[in-house]
Chains A and B, each alone.
Chain A
């Protein structure tokens, strides 16, 4: 499948990935994340059930402390 991840086109072998699978494939290890699929906020409790498929627009933003 082809998706837009953080404004960039990316290809994956799988037809579908859960959010947690995507994080694993991309090696995103940060803990404090905000994730949107096609503009909709995905809560942490939904990372195992929400799926990403061809054509989806995904935002993964990780937040770090400091200010």
Chain B
């Protein structure tokens, strides 16, 4: 375990979005001792977010990026967190994440997911990008999977989209967020 911690300390992971995917993925990566996390989100915490996002009642109304940094600081002092209150566009993605060893896509809307995938393919064709796609609803454990195409790693069922009938809920969002974190470890440490 100490060897793994010493190894993970060397790496920086960028997380684009601090909602359901980003907050849970960041906490998992901090717990295992990633050296540095660069997190970004422009949104504030709404009470309705607490059904899946790693925040607390007394944080409602706060900026997600700063609240997540605070929550990580309650778990570990070994992970440096840079938090940016910013709505990510291609320019900012390139600026913020160019030195990251891995980038995690943790947006909610598919338009934003497409934007970061296209940005990373174009600007950083060699940099690993771990995408979450397809996590709405409940059940269907075995439909959630991970696959790799070139520098892209896709986690989720790639099919179930959020809607009024199919909300994003803690269990499946948490599974995909942790699968993303698990994929980051596999990229950084090898298959083990």
A-to-B contact residues, CB < 8 Å = 6-7, 32-34, 36, 39, 41, 43, 59, 61-67
The closest CB in chain A to the CB of B113 belongs to A63
Give the Cβ gap from B182 to chain A, nearest Cβ, in Å.
17
Instruction: State whether A61 touches B152 (Cβ < 8 A).
Output: yes
Question: Do A67 and B173 touch (CB < 8 A)?
Answer: yes
CB distance from B75 to the nearest CB of A (A): 22
Residues A34 and B161 in contact, CB atoms below 8 Å apart: no
Binds A, one of B5-13, B66-74, B128-136: B128-136
Q: Does B92 contact A (CB under 8 A)?
A: no
A67 and B147 in contact (CB under 8 A), knowing A32-B113, A39-B125, A61-B117? no
Q: Residue A32 contacts which of B17, B110, B149, B162 (CB distance < 8 angstroms)?
A: B110
| Cα–Cα, bound, A34→B20 (Å) | 23
- The answer for the CA separation of A63 and B156 in the assembled complex, in Å, is 10
Residue of B109, B111, B147 ringed by the most chain A CB atoms within 10 A: B109
Q: Closest approach, in angstroms, between the C-beta of A50 and any C-beta of chain B?
A: 15
Known pairs A6-B149, A7-B147; A65 contacts B110 (CB<8 A) = yes
Expressed in whole angstroms, the Cα–Cα distance for A41 and B115 within the complex equals 12
**Chain A min CB distance to B183 (Å):** 15
Question: How would you classify the secondary structure of chain A's contact residues: helix, strand, loop or mixed?
Answer: loop
A-B contact pairs, 22 of them (CB 8 A): A6-B147, A7-B149, A32-B113, A32-B114, A33-B114, A61-B133, A61-B149, A61-B152, A61-B158, A63-B113, A63-B117, A64-B133, A65-B109, A65-B113, A66-B134, A66-B168, A67-B17, A67-B20, A67-B106, A67-B108, A67-B135, A67-B168
- Shortest CB distance B171–A (Å): 13
B48 at interface, CB cutoff 8 A = no
